Amino acid sequence: GWQASMKSVSLPCILPCNRLPVQLMSQVRVYTSSGQKKDLGSEDKNVPTSEEIVNKVGTGQGTSNADQKQSFHKDPIQVKVKAVLKKREYGPKYTQNNFITGVRAINEFCLKSSDLDQLRKIKRRSPHDDTETFTVYLRSDVEAKSLEVWGSPEALARERKRRKEEEIKYRENLFRNQRLLKEYREFFGNTKPRSSTAAMFFKGPGKVVMVAICINGLNFFFKLLAWVYTGSASMFSEAIHSLADTCNQALLALGISQSARTPDPSHPYGFTNMRYIASLISGVGIFMMGAGLSWYHGIMGLLHPHPIESLLWAYCILAGSLVSEGATLLVAINEIRRSARAKGLSFYQYVVQSRDPSTNVVLLEDAAAVLSVAVAATCMGLTSLTGNPYYDSVGSLGVGTLLGTVSAFLIYTNTEALLGRSIQPEQLQRLTELLESDPVVRAIHDVKATDMGMSKVRFKAEVDFDGRVVTRSYLEKQDIEQLLQEIQQVKTLEELEAFMLKHGENIIDTLGAEVDRLEKDLKQRNPDVRHVDLEIL
Residue 82 within a domain: no
Please, which residues have CB within 8 angstroms of residue 389's CB and are 6 or more apart in sequence?
A: 233, 301, 305, 306, 307, 308, 383
Q: Do residues 305 and 210 both lie within one domain?
A: yes
Give yes or no for a contact between 12 and 50, defined as CB atoms under 8 angstroms apart: yes
What's the pLDDT score for residue 308?
66
Query: What's this model's pTM, rounded to 2 decimal places?
Result: 0.60
Residue 61 within a domain: no
Boundary of a domain, candidates 172, 190, 222: 172
Q: Do residues 242 and 329 both lie within one domain?
A: yes
Residue 217 within a domain: yes
pLDDT of 468 above 90: yes
Residue 475: which pLDDT band, with cuts at 50, 70 and 90?
Answer: very high
Give the amino acid at 279: S
What's the pLDDT score for residue 22?
41
Q: Do residues 316 and 364 both lie within one domain?
A: yes
Give yes or no for a contact between 209 and 256, defined as CB atoms under 8 angstroms apart: yes
Q: Do residues 432 and 349 both lie within one domain?
A: no
Residue 183: which pLDDT band, with cuts at 50, 70 and 90?
Answer: low
237-262 average pLDDT score? 81
Q: Whole domain around residue 228: which residue ranges?
A: 203-419
Write phi, then psi, for 56 (nearest 5 degrees).
-65, -35
Write phi, then psi, for 514 (nearest 5 degrees).
-65, -40
Distance (Å, whole) CA 335 – CA 399 = 26
Distance (Å, whole) CA 99 – CA 105 = 10
Residue 185: which pLDDT band, with cuts at 50, 70 and 90?
Answer: low
Boundary of a domain, candidates 419, 451, 469: 419
Q: Do residues 342 and 235 both lie within one domain?
A: yes
Q: Please state, in angstroms and as integers, the Cα–Cα distance from residue 62 to each residue in 21, 25, 75, 354, following that order.
A: 13, 20, 22, 95
Q: Do residues 399 and 432 both lie within one domain?
A: no
Residue 109 within a domain: yes
pLDDT by residue (tens digit) across 359-398? 787 888 778 878 888 888 888 888 888 878 888 888 888 8
Domain total for the chain? 3
pLDDT by residue (tens digit) across 402-415? 888 888 888 888 88
Q: What is the mean pLDDT of the chain?
A: 77
Q: Do residues 272 and 379 both lie within one domain?
A: yes
Q: Do residues 404 and 449 both lie within one domain?
A: no
pLDDT by residue (tens digit) across 16-68? 444 444 444 444 444 444 444 444 444 444 444 444 444 444 444 444 444 54
Residue 63 within a domain: no
What's the pLDDT score for residue 60?
46
What's the pLDDT score for residue 416?
81
CATH label of the domain that carries residue 488: 3.30.70.1350
Q: Do residues 254 and 313 both lie within one domain?
A: yes
Distance (Å, whole) CA 387 – CA 148 = 96
What's the pLDDT score for residue 471?
93
Residue 499 within a domain: yes
CATH label of the domain that carries residue 408: 1.20.1510.10
Q: Do residues 135 and 272 both lie within one domain?
A: no
Q: Do residues 261 and 403 both lie within one domain?
A: yes
Distance (Å, whole) CA 270 – CA 262 = 6
What's the pLDDT score for residue 23?
41
Helical ranges in 77-200 per DSSP H = 102-109, 113-116, 139-150, 153-172, 174-188, 196-199
Q: Do residues 295 and 407 both lie within one domain?
A: yes
Boundary of a domain, candidates 419, 442, 458: 419
pLDDT of 182 above 80: no
What's the pLDDT score for residue 63?
44
Distance (Å, whole) CA 31 – CA 22 = 25
Residue 519 within a domain: yes
What's the pLDDT score for residue 386?
83
Residue 256 within a domain: yes
CATH label of the domain that carries residue 118: 3.90.530.10
